[in-house]
Each structure stands twice: as C-alpha cells, then as structure tokens.
Amino acid sequence: MIQDLEIRVGLEGLTPGKIITLYRRAPLLRAVDTPSRVWEKFEASSLVITAWHGDQLAGIVRAMSDGVSESYLCELAVEPDVQDSGVGRKLLDVVFEQCKGTDLLLRHSSISSKYYEKLGFRRVDNAWFRKL
C-alpha cells in the first residue's frame, strides 16, 4: 500500500472538496464551511505536500516557511483507511527536507501530541499565541 503512494509537492490534483472530505474523515477539526476560504489557505502556503493512491487523496500537510530560519507546519491529516501505515511520516519527511535548516513549529491536537514526539519534535515553553 505505502509502496504505491505518490507524493506530490504543490496543488496538483487538489480541490477544496477533496481537502474538506479528508479533514472530515481524518478527522481534523477545522472550519470547512466555506470552501473558498479553505482553498485560500492552501494557495497562500509556501509548501503543500500530498499523498495519493491513484486519484484518491491519502494524506495532506501544508507549511509556511521563509526558507532560512522559520517554518510553521499546519493541518496534517491522513485518510483513516491508511492511518498508521507511514503516510504521515512520508509527508513529514518531505517537509523536513524542504524546510531544512529552519526551526519548524506547530500546534498539535490532543490526540496527536505523542505522534509529534515520536517523529522527533520536542515541546517548547517559549511560544506565545494571540487570536487576531
């Protein structure tokens, strides 16, 4: 299964509908009521990585990076049928390669904190948050 996976960098093959369906199924709890707003986020991201089985979207992640010192990882989601088979790790490997040399930050969900620990992230206590 994982051997048949095609990894793409960029928006090729993606539609707002495919992203929303994957988020709902994963599940990844994000506001998806307005497809154009979902798509805007992807167009504005410096890095979009997708995993495909044929034309089926199996996983997705996006990031914003200045390519020099700072990167921010967002909204990693994997299709439930193929969770726990290495898809997330494959997507993140591409992010790590593309954002090499930078500090990669993210916000985790309650069910995924251990996942990021497993993939080599460490918790920091010097991050700040403000809703705008």
**Looking at beta carbons, which residue is closest to ligand COA?**
88
Q: Is 125 in the site for ligand COA (CB under 6 A)?
A: no
Q: Where are the alpha helices (DSSP H) in the chain?
A: 16-25, 35-44, 87-98, 113-118
Q: In what order do the strands lie in the sheet with 56-65?
A: 6-9, 47-53, 56-65, 70-78, 103-106
Alpha carbons 50 and 14: distance in angstroms, whole number: 8
Q: Which of 114, 122, 123, 130 binds ligand COA (CB under 6 A)?
A: 114
Which range of residues in 10-18, 64-72, 81-89, 122-130 is near ligand COA by CB under 6 A?
Answer: 81-89
Judged by beta carbon, residue 28 or residue 64, the one nearer ligand COA is 28
Q: Which of 21, 46, 83, 102 binds ligand COA (CB under 6 A)?
A: 83
Which range of residues in 5-13, 39-47, 95-103, 113-121 is near ligand COA by CB under 6 A?
Answer: 113-121
Q: Sign of dihedral through CA atoms 81, 82, 85, 86? A: negative
Q: Which of 53, 86, 104, 121 binds ligand COA (CB under 6 A)?
A: 86
Q: Is 28 in the site for ligand COA (CB under 6 A)?
A: yes
Which distant-in-sequence residues (6+ apart) come within 8 Å of 61 by Cβ?
48, 49, 73, 74, 75, 76, 77, 88, 91, 92, 95
Q: Which residues bind ligand COA (CB under 6 A)?
A: 26, 28, 76-78, 83-89, 108-109, 111-112, 114-115, 118
